[in-house]
Structure 1
Amino acid sequence: MPSDTPPGKLIVFAAFKCIAQGNTADVLAQLRERKDDTPYLVFNEQTGELLDFDVHNRAGVVAHAASAETSEETPRGVGRPKLGVVAREVTLLPRHWDWLNRQPGGASVALRRLVQEASRVNADRDAVRASREAAYRFMTAIAGALPGFEEATRALFAGERGRFEALIGSWPADLRIHLQKLSAAGWSTTA
């Protein structure tokens, strides 16, 4: 997601308690109504990504925490921008280029077809990986000092749901509930 695109839904935690949730406008309103000054963390609700959130919304957008890093400019004028096609560099061995060029429609058509097929075939595995990574991002940002964090992380990536649930069982309720939501797709037995 580009750093200038706000996420769909946000969730905000202060001292392990969920204090706000919803779209950007809803969260802004909820945070502005707060009477205490407890520090809070704002996350993308679906990806678990920690966000840099300006409660005064001077910039008008929510930025990724990593947006301070320089982002690579997309080249203009190459590809078919109106169709969303962007030219990028692909490095292959000569025999790979030879094979691609022999395919019906040429290299671009063959690569698009290969990527589409791989996306379809690996959809379940990709969903499991995305779920585990979202849970891990969230855990790392907010729960790194909690008891059992490292073991819970190992259980998450090993796909050991029972062990993961047991390890986070003593964690604060709001934190645990959100972790269970983020990790739900990560327990697939088919991936």
Structure 2
Amino acid sequence: MGDENRNLVLFDGPRRIARGSDAAVAAALRKALEAAPQAALRVFDLATGRPVDLDLRETEAAPAARRGRPRLGVAAREVTLLPRHWDWLASQPGGASAALRRLVDQARKTGADDDARRRRTEAAYGFMVETAGDAPDFEEASRALFAGDRDRLAALIAPWSPDIQTQILELFDGAASTE
């Protein structure tokens, strides 16, 4: 389902040890487990900040071999509207489906910055909860995060692990999602 294209990060306790695709992080995870089977290893999806499980049985080439041709086309779903909405849609060039596609595209463009900022904040918060939920000043740092106050956030998390600080600020800034 496209999971092999995720941007992941691997932590050993508070230390970041790898970052990249599913295959790259799985390889680093295998290596880390061989070196220290009892290590506190956790993998996070940088799009959500949440932990993920990797299938370590696959080789690095397996996801590419399994991928196949992507499905193309449209998906039929039910839409419930009032009669006046259907009347307006029917009068639009290209019909209801074309008008709905144009409206969705316009809404996506208009709210893209706000949506991206919200996703970054939620990812940073999810990561913070998982890695530093019991850290000093966690609640205040959370407030700063949701207020969009990067300077205060950075000051509050300064005593935390340097790798955790860096990851939170990268998620906040959006750097993690663009690499």
TM-score range, shorter chain: 0.7 to 0.9
Where structure 2 has 5 or more consecutive residues not aligned to the other structure, the ranges are: 64-69
Question: Shift of residue 83 of structure 1?
Answer: 4.0
Task: Tell me which residue corresponds to 2:9.
Answer: 11
SS in 2 for 1:140: helix
Say how many residue pairs are matched.
164
Where structure 1 has 5 or more consecutive residues not aligned to the other structure, the ranges are: 62-80, 187-191
Q: Distance in 1 between matches of 2:121 and 2:90?
A: 38
* CA distances 1:142-167 after superposition (whole Å, capped 9, x unpaired): 22111222222221111122221111
CA contact (8 A) 1:11 1:22 kept: yes
* CA distances 1:24-72 after superposition (whole Å, capped 9, x unpaired): 33223322222222121101234423211233448x66xxxxxxxxxxx
CA contact (8 A) 1:7 1:44 kept: no
Question: Shift of residue 22 of structure 1?
Answer: 2.4
The one-letter amino acid of 1:26's match is A
CA contact (8 A) 2:141 2:157 kept: yes
Q: Distance in 2 between matches of 1:169 and 1:51?
A: 26
How has the CA–CA distance of structure 1 residues 185 and 42 changed in structure 2, closer, same or farther, with 3 Å as cutoff? closer
Task: Tell me which residue corresponds to 2:67.
Answer: none
CA RMSD, 1 decimal: 2.4
> Sequence identity, in percent?
48
Question: Is structure 2 residue 115 aligned with structure 1 residue 113?
Answer: no
The one-letter amino acid of 1:45's match is L
Describe how 1:10-89 pairs up with structure 2 within 5 A.
10-34=8-32, 35-36=35-36, 37-57=38-58, 83-89=72-78
How has the CA–CA distance of structure 1 residues 147 and 82 changed in structure 2, closer, same or farther, with 3 Å as cutoff? closer
Runs of 4+ in 1 over 4 A off after TM superposition: none
Normalised to the residue count of structure 1, the TM-score between the two structures is 0.75
The one-letter amino acid of 1:42's match is V
